[in-house]
Each structure stands twice: as structure tokens, then as C-alpha cells.
Amino acid sequence: MILKKKSESSIGAAKALNEIEYYSSSVHCSYYSCVQLIKHILLHKYKMSENELRNEQEKSGKPSHEFLINAILIKIKDVSPINFRDVSRELPTLKMARIDADYKEIEIKKGMSENALDKAIELLTTLNMAFKI
């Protein structure tokens, strides 16, 4: 349950950072709140261990976040095909916003930060409802 609490803390931090105009950091926290919840779902709802996740990720040859995103997309398609469309569209968009915020030589403005925050809140709500957590 620690990752779920971290996810809640991260979205809270994203809101607070947005309010004090730390837009890049807000985008970062918005994205990570989703990644933390995804990992929580895989560990607790699907009873995977940290070692199983790591082994599966290594076997896939994908970076850790890409692996987690792909894993949750497979799971959500089974439990909620309607929500699959939203998550499969919005999660990669949020990931790209985080890459822009963390690594690109561009200014992250208020609108971009608020958009990432809104996407993250929507994704968190969708994931919580789809997986009944």
C-alpha cells in the first residue's frame, strides 16, 4: 500500500507545485503519481512480486516505465475495454509531457502544467475505478 500512498502524495505535490508556479516539477509529479499507482495495481491487485516485475521487465527488453505502461494496458483491456481507450491515449501523452518537462530545453508553462495535472487526475480516477482499488 506504500506505492498507493506515494501516488496520492505525488498528485498532491503536483497540485502544490503548480500553484507556486513550479510547472516542470508539477508535470514530473503528475506523471509519477500514475506510474506509482500502476505499480501498486500490479503488485497488489495482481499479486506480482517486485522480483517478478523486474524479471518480466528484463525479459521484455523495455525500459521500466514502458514495461509498466504496457502491462497495465493489457490488464485494463481485460477488465475495462471502455477505459482502455482513454488510458492508452492519455498515459503516453502524459509521459511525453514529463519527458519535455524533465529533459527538453523548453519552457513549461502554466497551461502545460495544468493539462498534465488534469490528465493525471483523470487517469488516477480511471485506474482506481477500473481496478476497484
* C-alpha cell of residue 127: 485506474
What do you get for the CA distance between the two ends of the chain, in Å?
A: 11
The domain segmentation of the chain, as residue ranges, is 2-64+87-126
Q: Which residue shows C-alpha cell 503488485?
A: 43
What are the φ and ψ backbone dihedral angles of 21, each rounded to 5 degrees?
Answer: 65, 30
Fold of 2-64+87-126: Four Helix Bundle (Hemerythrin (Met), subunit A) (1.20.120)
Sequence letter at residue 9 = S
In terms of DSSP H, where are the helices of 41-80? 50-60, 64-79
Residuewise pLDDT in 10s, the chain (133 residues) = 899 999 999 999 999 999 999 999 999 999 999 999 999 999 999 999 999 999 999 999 999 999 999 999 999 999 998 899 999 999 999 999 999 999 999 999 999 999 999 999 999 999 999 999 8
Q: What is the pTM of this model?
A: 0.96
* C-alpha cell of residue 118: 488534469
User: Residue 2: what pLDDT?
Assistant: 97
**SS3 of residue 49 by DSSP:** coil
Q: How many residues does the chain have?
A: 133
